[in-house]
Amino acid sequence: MVGPAGDGDAASRRAVRLRRRWDREAGAYDRGMAAAERRLFPGVRPLVCGLATGRTLEVAVGTGLNLAHYPTAVRDGRLTGVEWSPGMLRVARRRAAELGADVDLRLGDAQRLDLADDAYDTVVCTFSLCAIPDHRAALAEMVRVLRPGGLLVLADHVVSTAWPVRVLQAAADVVSVPLAGEHFRRRPLRWVLDAGLAVERHERTRAGVIEWVAARTPGPRAR
């Protein structure tokens, strides 16, 4: 019988394997992402990063493709980025240096953020909830570190509104989840609504596959 300890061991072995996969992809990531971005979600990065104000956390910052799109006031000393792949983080740090951005980029696990409660005004996570093993735990962590009335900004590929696409996504999941930890049928917005956040902005395009949302945690409004 596999008890809780066995499950934990399996989960950490899997986490190591997934992190290594991202380390290997780090060098080619920007090129692959640029092609997907042009076809599927042009303009989404500047739009969602432009909503950030005050102390901002980016979860699973990857190679830092969003860095250039934050308002200068955020990029100059108020932005923290967490990423669990040292290879991806290395590229992000290089990019930050090239941009002259004063950002705190650190290794960490989105599912267990080593950050204080209520510490951020804005939390951003783009195209990563599809890849984080326990995306619900990561969302709960994002809300925990947001101050009351803080803004959660998410963008990702999600389950389609069109059934033929959903069939393809289900087929893709059969291979991509065990091999690459990539999920095509998640929908973070459901969790956001269940958690009682108030949606302020929302857009869904490309047969419903691309979705971004900005939602506020309960409590005092924006400062």
Where does this chain bind ligand SAM (CB under 6 A)?
22, 33, 60-62, 65-66, 82-85, 88, 109-111, 126-128, 131-132
- Give the shortest CB-215-to-ligand SAM separation in angstroms: 18
Closer to ligand SAM by Cβ: residue 31 or 223? 31
Q: Measuring CA to CA, which residue among 49, 47, 43 is closest to residue 64?
A: 49
- Give the shortest CB-71-to-ligand SAM separation in angstroms: 17
- Give the shortest CB-162-to-ligand SAM separation in angstroms: 23
C-alpha torsion 157→142→56→89, nearest 10: -70
- Give the shortest CB-110-to-ligand SAM separation in angstroms: 3
Closer to ligand SAM by Cβ: residue 134 or 200? 134
Q: How far is CA 213 from CA 46, 160, 180, 198, in A?
A: 14, 16, 25, 10
- Give the shortest CB-109-to-ligand SAM separation in angstroms: 5
- Give the shortest CB-27-to-ligand SAM separation in angstroms: 13
Using CB positions, name the residue nearest to ligand SAM.
62
Closer to ligand SAM by Cβ: residue 60 or 123? 60
Closer to ligand SAM by Cβ: residue 103 or 131? 131
Closer to ligand SAM by Cβ: residue 33 or 149? 33
Closer to ligand SAM by Cβ: residue 155 or 189? 155
